[in-house]
Amino acid sequence: MTAITSASAPTTQRFSSPAAGAYLGRIMAAYEHIVILTGAGLSAESGLSTFRDKDGIWSKHNIEDVATPEAFARNPEAVLDFYNARRRVVLGVGPNAGHEALARLEADFPGRVTTITQNVDPLHERAGTRNLIHMHGEILKAACAHCGARQPWETDLSVDLVCGTCNRAGGMRPDVVWFGEMPYQMEEIHAALGTCDLFISIGTSGNVYPAAGFVAGARAAGAHTVELNLEPSEGISMFAEAIHGKATEVVPVYVARLLGG
């Protein structure tokens, strides 16, 4: 990815109510290709835990025990238990106003909208987003660690399951991207970043690469860069504009601005 020189201080707004959003910010330019990057903060108000907030998933589990290929090789039962519990929670929640606004943007925006999510939940697609990249995989799919076959999977996984493609046992795992593994569709992502003129990062702390570097790629392509997050992220200095507040509040207002509403 192209290196980026330091950015000037972002225009930061503290968002307090939807009404306040009506007069915040500059008039939107006529964009042609919007790239949206989403993270756990977008799904938080649907009832899914984030990772690095005070009560987040990584405050209760060690990454090295549950989210690496080495952990799966060492103790597959513990890793599968961790994801079985999270899968059950995901099956019981639905999209929120933030997901719905982004689906509306894709449907109504006259140009192209590409959504890249780090989230493994299905809430974007359930809200209606179609041009979607699940770069960290999908918890409602299983993958075989032996042959790589992937399939929809909504029930618990266990070590005695046999892969229907290669007939080997012990390799069935959630189709998610662990630390040290290559995220999905990186070529498509870099192509999208290279052609976008607006990049919006929503609900992500900016701690995990390569996603944390996408803002630099978008800036290199000349895009306007915006952060919508509860609080300033690790990468805040890279954004030209930032609005801080809950995703269910700031995202619908920002989308309305883009759609001229």
Residue 56 sits in the site that holds ligand BJW (CB under 6 A) = yes
- Do β-strands 137-144 and 150-152 pair in parallel, antiparallel, or remain unpaired? antiparallel
Residue 187 sits in the site that holds ligand BJW (CB under 6 A) = no
Q: Which 3 state secondary structure label does DSSP give 38?
A: strand
Least separation in angstroms between residue 173's CB and ligand BJW is: 11
Q: Which residue has the tokens 């200095």?
A: 237
Active site residue 136: yes
Q: Which stretch binds ligand BJW (CB under 6 A): 13-21, 149-157, 173-181, 189-197?
A: 173-181
Closest by alpha carbon to 201, among 219, 227, 229? Answer: 227
Residue 230 sits in the site that holds ligand BJW (CB under 6 A) = yes
Structure tokens belonging to residue 26: 């500059």
**One residue of 37, 40, 132, 236 binding ligand BJW per CB under 6 A:** 40
Residue 60 sits in the site that holds ligand BJW (CB under 6 A) = no
Catalytic residue among 33, 99, 124, 136: 136
Taking the least distance from each CB to ligand BJW, the nearer of 211 and 223 is: 211
Closest by alpha carbon to 203, among 99, 103, 94? Answer: 99
Residue 255 sits in the site that holds ligand BJW (CB under 6 A) = no
Least separation in angstroms between residue 175's CB and ligand BJW is: 10
Which residues form the catalytic set? 136
Binding site for ligand BJW (CB under 6 A): 39-41, 44-45, 50-53, 56, 67, 118, 120, 136, 176-183, 203-205, 207-210, 229-231, 233, 246-247
